[in-house]
Chain A
Amino acid sequence: MNHNYAYAVGKIRALEKRLLSKSFLEKIAESGSLEAITQDIRETAYSGEFAEERELFSLLRNERKATYNLIEKLLEEPSLSPLLRLRYDIHNLKLLLKKEIDRSVSADFSPLGAISPSLLEKAIQNKAFLQIPSYFREIAKKSIALFQAEGIKQLEQFLDKEMWKLTLDESKEIKNIFLEEFFKLQIDFLNIRNFFSLGEKENFDVIFIVGGRLEKKIFKKERAAIEKKIFFFYSGLELDETSSLEKSSDDLLINYIKKAKIYSFGTEPLIAYLFAKEGELKNIKLILLGKLNNIGVSVIKENLRETYV
């Protein structure tokens, strides 16, 4: 256990008190209008100045960015932060390469990546890969080659696999078992989701991501046997529909990170707080989008994810 994180964990424990509970989120979901929700949210940790719902969305984006920056500042291991931001770098890389063939693709780059999108763009355009961090260099090089040879779909599959491989390898390298197990859960849920939403022409072997607890051979059995095996590992999963599968897998991830509550030192509470905040922002966004699209309160409440507090 790393005892250097006493300050960081103390700070996080104080911040956790400001996380929104499920009952509070259900209460604001029951609020009649967006104005009422805005008012309720304003009374919480999201007390920044905003008036319209559009500003509320940007407030959520800023909150996510501030949380990543805070965790980055608190983490003493320099390799951990890029690891937590990797999926945003991958998202930016995909977007950049898509833009290469279609200029009309909206440049909705994520500001959460460890590598700035402009630097990444310059590196790709000039083939000057030395400008980007070494862990990302090979991925970027291979991506361009694959994109030119096989197209965007293969590139996306390649990048998803590379991202999970890198995250698992790095978390093993830094001996962060909490993070490694968390990534394994995510890989399993992604594989399960991909398997049950597989199109007729798609080959599961190609999209299967290695590294999770569920091996590829499990998915080659009969459906009943597959479900039995999945329930053996993840009894709380609901496999009936895509939406319930997504919700139940998110709930299991939140339940997993709750283990960090017993740690008084180490990186675990920081990582858990980051993902707890991500979950909270997802829930608020879900309520706002539900209200904007006139979705019923009961449906919104059903879809609310489990919360950390």
Chain B
Amino acid sequence: MNMIGLAIAMVGAAFAIGFAGAGSSIGIGYAGQAANGVLSEDPEKFGPMLLLVALPGTQGFYGFLVSFLVIMKLGLLGANIAHPSVAQGWQILGACLPIAITGFASGIHQGKVCAAGIGVAAKQPVASMRALIYAALVETYAVLGLVASIFLLQGVKL
């Protein structure tokens, strides 16, 4: 029974959720602090701020989705746990890297763009949607990372 392959694959799943989640939490941290600063003076701005604060959180969900796909692939939630070879374990870990890396980097940078957007929305609430569009552009690369990870995982045959 090959436990090393399974362990490597599980590390991949942990990377996907760990790094993407860390990127999201840092990003939300920036945006949340900026939004709280605005709300401390203008509590009625909660609505326009909410989407800008929430947006950097998506990377964490993408990471969780890839991690869940790996868990399902390995059958970790059922009785029949798969035991991939070492090579297959590395393939799964490699498949997790796109979302881990893009999720981490884009989560942080999206948080910064959202914090800047919150500054814009504080002065001109009508411009908050435009600020959201700029922030959403950063999202593109997390989505590409997610799609790449899903395709790569599909390619791993156990």
Give A contacts to B, CB under 8 Å.
3, 6-17, 264-265
Contacts and interface: CB of A to CB of B under 8 A. Distances in A.
Interface residues of B, number: 21
A7 B33 CA distance: 4
A18 to B, nearest CB: 8
A270 B33 CA distance: 15
B155 interface: no
A3 B38 contact: no
A10 B30 contact: no
Given A6-B29, A9-B34, A13-B38, 6 more contacts: A3-B112, A6-B33, A12-B37, A13-B123, A14-B41, A14-B45
B37 A10 contact: yes
Contacts of A16: 122-123
A15 B123 CA distance: 9
Given A6-B37, A8-B37, A9-B37, A14 B30 contact: no
B35 interface: yes
Nearest to A3: B30
B33 A15 contact: no
B34 A264 contact: yes
B134 to A, nearest CB: 12
Contact of A11 (B40, B112, B116): B40
**Complex A-B, nearest 4 residue pairs according to Cβ-Cβ distance, in ascending order:** A10-B37, A6-B33, A14-B41, A11-B37
Interface in B118-140: 118-119, 122-123
B35 A10 contact: yes
Interface string B13-41: 00000000000000001110111111111
A14 B37 contact: yes
B116 A264 contact: yes
A189 to B, nearest CB: 29
25 contacts: A3-B30, A6-B29, A6-B37, A8-B37, A9-B115, A10-B35, A10-B36, A10-B38, A10-B39, A11-B37, A11-B41, A12-B37, A13-B37, A13-B38, A13-B118, A13-B123, A14-B37, A14-B40, A14-B41, A14-B42, A15-B41, A17-B122, A264-B115, A265-B112, A265-B115
Nearest to B122: A13
Contacts of A3: 30, 112
Given A264-B112, A264-B116, A265-B115, A7 B36 contact: yes
Nearest to A264: B116
A9 B41 contact: no
A15 B119 CA distance: 11
Contacts of A265: 30, 112, 115
Nearest to B35: A10
A307 B33 CA distance: 28
Contact of A14 (B29, B33, B38, B112): B38
B156 to A, nearest CB: 38
Interface string B72-83: 000000000000
Contacts of B115: 6, 9-10, 264-265
Interface string B97-123: 000000000000000100110110011
A7 B31 CA distance: 9
A17 B37 CA distance: 13
B44 to A, nearest CB: 10
Contacts of B30: 3, 6, 265
A13 B119 contact: yes
